[in-house]
Every structure is written in C-alpha cells, then in structure tokens.
Amino acid sequence: MTSEFAAGPHARWLESETDRLIRFARGAWLPAGGFGLLDDDGGVAAVPTVDLLITCRMTHVQSVAHLLGRPAGGRLADHGVAALRSLFADREHGGWFGQVDLTSGRATNDRKEAYVHAFVLLAASSAVWAGRPGADELLADAIEVVERRFWDEREGRMRESWDAAFTADEPYRGANSNMHSVEAFLAAADATGDAVWRERALRIADWLINTVARGNDWRIVEHYHADGSLDLDYNRADPAHQYRPYGATIGHSLEWSRLLLHLRSALGDGAPAWLLEASRALFDQAVASGWAVDGADGFVYTTDWSGTPVVRSRLHWVVAEAIGAAAALARATGERRYADLYARYWDYAGLHLLDLQRGSWFHELDELNRPAAAVWSGKPDIYHALQATLVPRLPLHPSLTAAVAAGLLDSVATPAFHS
C-alpha cells in the first residue's frame, strides 16, 4: 500500500502533461491579434472572428507558462495583453467586446457580459504576476469596469450583462458568471493585496451555495430572474446549451467544491465553517448524480432537479474539475477516499480523454465514451485541463498563478495513486 500522499512519479507525469497541453496551445496565436479557437489538430478553427473568452483564457495560460519557465510563454502572454488593451477594448463606453471580426476589427458581439469580463480580470491578474508589459494597466481597467458596471454591492453578486453602452442590463442573473467571478476575485485579491475581493467572493458563495444550493439538496441552481428569484425552467427547450444549460450542471458543482476550498484557505482563521461542509456536500452530490449513472463511466453534463440525466454527453472540463476538486478535498481533509477518487478520474481521463495522437484532450465524448461534438466542436482551449495538472501540485492558497509565481509548485504532496 502506498502512502496517503506521495510526490515523485505522479508529479513528474503531471508536469509532462502540463507541457503537452502548453505545446498544443501555441497554435492558437493569431497574427491579427488575440487567440483563436483550436481545432482537433491544434490549428486555428476556420472562423472569421476572434473570441474574447478564448483570448483571456490563453493569456492566463501563457502567463502561467512563462512563470513555469516555458519558452515563448511570456511573448504569447504579451500578445494576449495587447489584444485585450486594443482589439477588444471599447474605447467609447468601456469594457470589452465579446467577439471581433478579424478583417474589419469591428465588434460582431458588442454585448458586455460578466462571464467574460471575469476572465479579463483573471487574465490581467495572471499577467501581472508574470510581469508582462501593460498588465498593471489592464488590471486597473478591469477592476474599474467590474466595480462600476457588474458588481452589485447591495445584492452581493454580479449583474449578468449589458448592452454595448451600459444603458440596459439583462433581466437575468447566472451562477456561471458569478462562479468565475469568485475565481477572478481570488486572483485579483492576490494581485492587488486588496482583501475586499475575498469578501466579495464570500458574499457570492454565501448566496449561491450556502443559501440556494443548501436548500436545493446541494444542487446548484444556475439561472435566476433579475431579482434573484429562481428560474428552474430556464432553457428547458435548449438543454445542451454551452453556457446556460437547463437543470443542474454537474461540472459546476465540482468546480464550486474546489473554489470554496480556495476561498476557505484564503480567508484563513476568518473562514466560516460552512465552506468545508458545502465543498464536501457539493462534491458528493455531483458524484452521486453524475458519475456513471447511465451505465458507463464518466460524468453526464446535466441532470434535472430530481437527479435524472438530461444531457448525457461527457465533457472534458467536468472531469478536469472533478480531478481538481478531489485533489483539493484530499488536501483539505487528508481523507483517503478523495485521493482514491482523484486517481479514478485521472484513470478515466487517461483512457478516454487524452488524445495522445493529435494533442490536448477530446473536449466531448458521447454516452459510450466515443469522441463527439454535440455540445462542443474541436479543442478550443486548454484552460480547464491545464489547471487540472497544476492544482494537485499547489497549496490551496494563494491562487494558482500567484502560487506558481511564489515558487510553491510541489511544495505540497500530490495525491497518490493507491495500489
């Protein structure tokens, strides 16, 4: 029997997988600015636009790559920062456009969304830690827009989206944008030293998790009306939506499970006890409702409110978040069952998701674990998969890029594979 935690061979394999993913991501660079969506072979997908979300995620990834000492990471991060400060930036009204035409440079999606603005904040925070030119200015701009346009101090959560001129906000509130805001707020707290971002992250979590999810059998309600009331039937007719699917999204419960532990560690002695309780409960509910519930290994994408699978596709990011959550719970509790599940999910990824011929991970499998494209096509980015290779090698605080910058990689033991 191996020890409960062990660094060594598994940590070395994680590092090799980190490098494999970083190599694949280099193909996303676009000469006209920003980063493109990657296809199955690591080339840029043939689309006429450049996407803000992908550019933010790749800027974050390449900032991490630079801090890991990988050649070209810094230059690629600079490319992303430059695009965020020019190509995507709305000089008239502020904020960032969601999509821009590569030929004309004009916005093809000018709606200002909290979800992607959270990733601007994350990318800027990571670029600051990587010491990239223009990163401090980008972070200052991101903070100003988030505080002025998206953060609702009275409600303690994010407004969802606005028109281009910030004159009318969408009569909808979403858990997904708020979840990624928690991630970005923790990163911003570390990049700026301002603890208010952790306080805001806690307010979001207290509403979405400690109040709503606790009262819903630890299933996260994703969709809300503008007043914060639940919209349980949202997108019932479009259940496989990429960002706003109907019902309970299994991967978000796993992602929240991990984020609550990062928040708990960041808050230190002032962390409320419910954070660990909720992290355990979300993880357990996601595993019970999502893993191998229809006869084959893998997590289903969504379930209804009774736990019956709705969309049975297996998305790569869900497994990546299961790996991260299991590693975080193993770190926070020292319990072997989480280390065992961590190994199980990596085994699944190794058997079904890692594309060792063409690179990266298959982004989607069908219910029989065959490559599919019902929800996603291609391999657009490496954000979730890369973090799955790094979270197990890092402490729970500070946030990921800050921890890499501080030299904390492998300062903690990695969950072991038990024999």
pLDDT tens for each residue of 69-108: 999 999 999 999 999 999 999 999 999 999 999 999 999 9
Q: Which residues of 130-144 are buried (b: 16+ CB within 10 A; e: fewer)?
A: bebebbeebbebbbe
Q: Identify the active-site residue in 252, 262, 352, 363.
A: 252
How confident is the model over 109-160, as pLDDT tens digits?
Answer: 999 999 999 999 999 999 999 999 999 999 999 999 999 999 999 999 999 9
What is the predicted pLDDT for the residue at 5? 44
Please name each of the domains of the chain with its CATH number: 27-166 (1.50.10.20), 171-235+246-399 (1.50.10.10)
Q: Would you give the distance in Å from CA 210 to the centre of its chain?
A: 20
Which pLDDT does position 7 carry in this prediction? Answer: 58
Distance (Å) of CA 109 to CA 38, 113, 157, 304: 20, 10, 24, 31
pLDDT tens across 192-223, in order? 999 999 999 999 999 999 999 999 999 999 99
| SS3 category, 117 | helix
177-198 pLDDT per residue, tens: 999 999 999 999 999 999 999 9
Q: pLDDT for 334-362, tens place per residue?
A: 999 999 999 999 999 999 999 999 999 99
pLDDT recorded at residue 45: 86
Inter-residue long-range contacts of 271-280, CB under 8 Å, 24+ positions, other chains counted: 272/202, 274/210, 275/205, 276/332, 276/333, 278/205, 278/209, 278/210, 278/213, 278/214, 278/218, 279/325, 279/328, 279/329, 279/332, 280/329, 280/333
pLDDT tens-place string over residues 250-302 = 999 999 999 999 999 999 999 999 999 999 999 999 999 999 999 999 999 99
Inter-residue contact 256 to 206 (CB < 8 Å): no
- Tell me if residue 381 falls in helix, strand or coil: coil
Is 2 a residue whose pLDDT tops 90? no
DSSP H or E segment with residue 365: strand 364-365
Q: Determine the Cα–Cα distance for residues 70 and 72; give it in Å rounded to an integer.
A: 6
Inter-residue contact 44 to 370 (CB < 8 Å): no
Which pLDDT does position 1 carry in this prediction? Answer: 29
Residue 66 designated active-site = no
Residue 6 has pLDDT above 60, yes or no: no
Please tell me the predicted confidence (pLDDT) of residue 177. 98
Of 180, 316, 384, 397, which residue is the catalytic one?
Answer: 384
Average the pLDDT over 370-389 and give the result.
96
The edge-to-edge listing of strands for the beta sheet with 99-101 is 49-51, 99-101, 107-109
Neighbour count for residue 81 (Cβ, 10 Å): 27
Residues forming beta bridges with residue 100, ordered by sequence position: 50, 107
Give 3's pLDDT tier (boundaries 50, 70, 90): very low
**Residue 384 is among the residues annotated as catalytic for this protein:** yes
DSSP assignment of 389-413: HHGGGS-SSS-HHHHHHTT-TTSSP
